[in-house]
Structure 1
Amino acid sequence: PNGQLGSEREVLEQLQIGAVAFTKVSSLSLESFAPLYGALNAPFIFADEEHAYRVLDGRVGERLKVCSLDKKFRALTFYSSGARSFYADRPIMKPSDLQGLKIRVMGSQTALRMTELLGGSPAPMPYGEVYTGLQQKVIDGAENNITALTVSRHGEVAKHYSADEHIIAPDVLLVSTEVWERLSSEDRQILEEAAEESKVLQRRYWADAMKEHTRMATEDLGVTIHQPSKEPFLEAVQPLHDELKGKNPEMKATLEDIATQR
């Protein structure tokens, strides 16, 4: 908790050598280790969370679980992390509203490129520095799910949350292959079953928690939640979808598979 073992990237590096047995990270952090995860991070690739669940619980999810074996870890299951949207000291209702704004994003190439295409200036920074960055105007805004406003108190310094839901990036529960390969087949099955049970509970608790965090953001912190049309944003980031499809046949097939399950 609280980054005691380092950033997500640093923990993934520890996972690769077996110094950490398990971890949970965002798919946004995973794409630099296993590029196929970039398919999940493509903006607006998912219509909503239910669409994401269908994809992650099906054949695409099964392919993703083993796409990182050469990096010395594998996925066990996929948790909800909600939809990421922009928040700032002003409403962001259309891509042109991002023009010239410095927006904190995670360091994934997909997030960086998306922000550029929308007209913003991407500014990767450690998550723990975002509150101060917003407060001191080092950055103009950020993007995350709504818990960033409440748990991290970003709603104290950014009063407008524009729910464009541009990325629905799951959290991924991972196990080091150093650990996995030492387990018996029976223990592997127990671990996989436990992971699936935890997924069901986590998604249920997450849905309930989002209602409460939305209430806290609006009523306790005075944040205004806006509902911009997604179409102008989707049109602006279409070149990124084309770029991702051009990377390799597997990426193209995965993106198309996701689209057919809407």
Structure 2
Amino acid sequence: MKRFLLLLVAMLVMGILAACGDDTEEGSSGEDGEDSINIVAAHNQTDPENPYQDGLLAFEEVAEEESNGQIEVEVHAGTIGTEESQLVERLQTGGADVVLVSPGFMTSTGIEEVNLFAFPYLFDSYDHWESVVTGDVGDQMADIINEESGNDFKLLGYWTAGVRHYYGNEPLNSMDDLEGKTIRTQTSGVVSDFWERAGAIPTDIAWGELYQGLQQNVVESSENAYPYFVQQDHHRTPNGEYITETGHDYTTRFLLINGQEFDNYTEEQQEVILKAAEASVEAEWDALYEQEEEYREKALEEGAEINDIDRQPFIDLAEPLQDEYAADYGVEDLLEQIREAR
């Protein structure tokens, strides 16, 4: 009887161990027998009509279709962080696998070179911008991000947040109109220096609080691209109804994945993720370009006034600033390549 009981216990233990052995670190097995993986992909915008959302939904669709369901993607629109600093932290700690961030927030990780893409008047058209980010400069910057982060960050693609313009409580007819005017923008680095040298006073207000700040006269002006500030109704406030198309920044955003996690995926999974990233870039660009005109017209229809301005004085102010900061960051060669690409 005792031998029978011992045999029964042994069989039960073996059964438990076998069952445990079926579990995997990544998830359940896919159709081809390989472990499935779950990818949390996040951006900081809460509006579902945002181009960021279109881009990540394209990433989700291609990743899941090409992997036959072996890769599952969860898209989070502002639900795990409305500040880019939160998304960068989650990427480093494993709370997210793919995130979208701007150069300004990447510099907070110690990779100063990426701030090259935040230089005012670095690009003069979308064609110029596209040729740079899809060319040698884009490849070199991707290598810098990966190497200096210790493989914490791997660049999957370059997105854009549109071309940024000034909007405030009065139109700009010349740079002199900025003298003493508070403007919501970055309050440190090259962006802040540019607006200070133009005569304005950079002011720090969180994006989610900016509508109220403009409405209540906390700040007199701001700057952003049409799809973003019009979606938030900034143009319907007393300090946002006058838009001057300064075109000072053809923006760059980085679609990042945790490089160490990426290296742990199979070659087939890596190929699917890279293909999904390509699709996301195309979808985000298309959505953004379409929405820029759409939301410009919406602003006009809802009472905003739009005017042009001679950009040359702003460009003349920006170029020596670019040289100064490029020397600080050690990216003089990249800056020259960008200028030559015009």
Q: Normalization by structure 1: what TM-score?
A: 0.93
Could you tell me how far 1:248 is from its partner in structure 2? 4.3
Q: Would you say 1:237 and 2:314 are equivalent positions? A: no
In the aligned structure 1, how far is the partner of 2:236 from the partner of 2:329?
43
Q: Deviation of residue 12 (structure 1)?
A: 0.5
Report the equivalent of 2:182: 102
What is residue 175 of structure 1 aligned with on the other side? 257
Are the counterparts in 2 of residues 87 and 159 from structure 1 also a CA contact under 8 Å?
yes
Shift of 1:108: 5.3
Displacement of 1:190 after TM fit? 1.8
Q: 2:272 aligns with which of 165, 169, 190?
A: 190
Offset, 1:196: 1.2
Which structure has the greater CA radius of gyration? 2
Q: Does residue 1:77 correspond to 2:157, yes or no? A: yes
4+ long deviations beyond 4 Å: none
What does residue 122 of structure 2 align with? 45
- 1:28–1:108: 8 Å Cα contact kept in structure 2? no
Contact 1:87 1:160 in 2 (8 A): yes
Counterpart for residue 145 of structure 1: 225
Give 1:192 deviation, angstroms: 1.4
Correspondence for 1:226: 307
Structure 1 residue runs of 5 or longer lacking an equivalent are none
- Equivalent residue, structure 2, for 1:260: 340
Q: Percent identity?
A: 25
TM-score (norm: length of structure 2): 0.72
Higher relative contact order at CA 8 Å, sep ≥6: structure 1 or structure 2? 1
Cα displacement (A) at 1:115? 1.0
For residues 145-199 of structure 1, the C-alpha deviation after alignment (integer angstroms, 9 at most, x for no partner) is: 0123321010111111111111111222110123212112332222112211221
1:114 aligned residue: 194
How many Å separate the matches in 2 of 1:29 and 1:95? 28
C-alpha contact (below 8 Å) 2:187/2:202 kept by paired residues? no
Which ranges of structure 2 fall in alignment gaps of 5 or more residues? 1-44, 47-77
What is the aligned residue count?
Answer: 260
Does the CA-based 8 Å contact 2:180-2:200 persist in structure 1? yes
Change (3 A) 1:224 1:231: same
2:287 — aligned with what?
A: 205
Residues 1:32 and 2:108 are matched in the alignment: yes
- What CA distance in whole angstroms lies between the structure 1 residues aligned with 2:315 and 2:204? 22
